[in-house]
């Protein structure tokens, strides 16, 4: 049996998973809520499974819906590349900017940047590809993009970079999870020994979390599941099956439990960050990553230690 699904409908489904709302997905795509609802109903009939939980409080993905959005992502990325390539053939004389960005930055920071760039230069063509941090760095090295934005504790030593912002990691669980109403918090050891929902390897969020636990003396166990987007992790965590650690940008809407982990009184060297809670441990966001970045300081190091270009090697 063949299944016919159009790209716009899949894009709407992933947006619903990200926002948890039909109306938000409608606003994001410039269509009516009724149109979104009709498309989702048609998609469910075509596939033959229920993809959405619909309640007065909002809309979330079913387990099958999470899987479908995961499968849809490569198709959407391929469609975006095709659209960009076709547009390039049609308007080769126009100015273009190819950007690769980690998913958190692409979802929560890049949209405002793109609006500002387009406002400043209406002829500018912008291509934004959302990837994990490791793949962003690879794309810059290969010359596939002009600039990259990443979030990782591993600094590429062969690319020029500057820190431009600081992110935080938070623990989130669903309302029915045993941790949801605890008053005592979660210990670092408990967090490390509990299988959590995680991004794939190469994700800066995952690397920062695993390294923080390891530095605290509690290497984490294998994840409960590996999902490629924060939206899929939020939806799965909301079902109450497992905790998740997300960027504060991507996790704040889903956070039901955000008390930082607490540990038994420990020596400073036993904790990941003696002066900070592990669940709110800052991590630098780095960009642009480019082998062609200018050398030398952007901001005096004495004023802002994260505002420097690194020398390419």
pLDDT tens for 210-268 read: 998 999 999 999 999 998 888 888 888 888 779 998 888 765 544 333 333 333 322 22
pLDDT score at 255: 37
Bridge-based pairing of strands 125-131 and 197-198 is unpaired
Mean pLDDT within 265-277: 25
Indicate whether 293 pLDDT > 70: no
Which range among 2-6, 57-61, 232-236, 298-302 has the greatest average pLDDT? Answer: 232-236
Look at residue 163 and tell me whether its pLDDT is greater than 60. yes
Which segments of 216-303 does DSSP mark as H helices, in order? Answer: 230-238, 248-251
Give the per-residue pLDDT at 312.
Answer: 29
Average pLDDT over residues 124-151: 90
Share of the chain above pLDDT 90, in %: 14
Is residue 81 predicted with pLDDT exceeding 50?
yes
- CA distances 273 to 193, 207, 213, 215, 264, Å, are 19, 16, 10, 9, 14
Closest CA to 298 of 130, 160, 115: 160
Per-residue pLDDT, averaged over 278-304, amounts to: 35
What's the distance, Cα to Cα, between the start and end of the chain in Å? 54
pLDDT of 124 strictly over 80? yes
Look over the chain and give the mean of its residue pLDDT values, rounded to a whole number. Answer: 75
Look at residue 86 and tell me whether its pLDDT is greater than 90: no
pLDDT bin (cut points 50, 70, 90) of residue 94 is low
Mean pLDDT in residue range 139-153? 89
> Is the separation of the CB atoms in 190 and 261 below 8 Å?
yes
In the predicted model, what is the mean pLDDT of residues 86-96? 65
Yes or no: say if 16 and 27 are a contact pair by the CB < 8 Å rule.
no
- pLDDT at position 179 over 70: yes
Residue 82 binned pLDDT confidence (cut-offs 50, 70, 90): confident
pLDDT at 51 over 50: yes
Q: Which residue has the higher pLDDT, 308 or 200?
A: 200
């Amino acid at each position: 049996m063949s299944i016919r699904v159009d790209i716009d409908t899949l894009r709407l489904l992933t947006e619903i998973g990200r926002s948890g709302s039909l109306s938000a997905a409608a606003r994001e795509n410039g269509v009516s809520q009724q149109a979104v609802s009709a498309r989702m109903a048609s998609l469910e009939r075509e596939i033959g499974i229920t993809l959405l939980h619909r309640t007065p409080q909002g809309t979330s993905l079913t387990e099958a819906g999470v899987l479908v959005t995961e499968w849809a992502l490569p198709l959407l990325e391929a469609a975006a590349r095709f659209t960009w390539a076709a547009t390039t053939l049609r308007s080769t004389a126009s100015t273009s900017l190819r950007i690769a960005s980690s998913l958190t930055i692409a979802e929560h920071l890049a949209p405002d940047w793109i609006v500002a760039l387009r406002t400043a230069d209406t002829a500018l063509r912008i291509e934004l590809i959302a990837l994990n941090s490791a793949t962003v760095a690879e794309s810059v090295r290969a010359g596939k993009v002009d600039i990259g934005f990443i979030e990782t504790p591993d600094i590429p030593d062969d690319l020029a970079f500057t820190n431009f912002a600081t992110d935080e990691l938070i623990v989130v669980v669903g309302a029915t999870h045993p941790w949801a109403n605890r008053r005592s918090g979660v210990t670092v050891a408990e967090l490390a020994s509990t299988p959590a929902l995680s991004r794939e390897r190469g994700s800066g969020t995952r690397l920062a979390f695993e390294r923080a636990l390891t530095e605290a003396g509690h290497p984490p166990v294998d994840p409960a599941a590996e999902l490629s987007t924060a939206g899929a992790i939020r939806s799965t965590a909301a079902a109450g099956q497992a905790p998740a650690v997300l960027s504060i940008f991507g996790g704040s809407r889903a956070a039901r439990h955000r008390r930082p982990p607490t540990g038994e009184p420990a020596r400073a060297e036993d904790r990941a960050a003696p002066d900070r809670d592990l669940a709110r441990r800052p991590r630098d966001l780095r960009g642009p990553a480019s082998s062609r970045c200018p050398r030398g300081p952007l901001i005096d190091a004495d004023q802002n230690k994260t505002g420097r270009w690194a020398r390419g090697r």
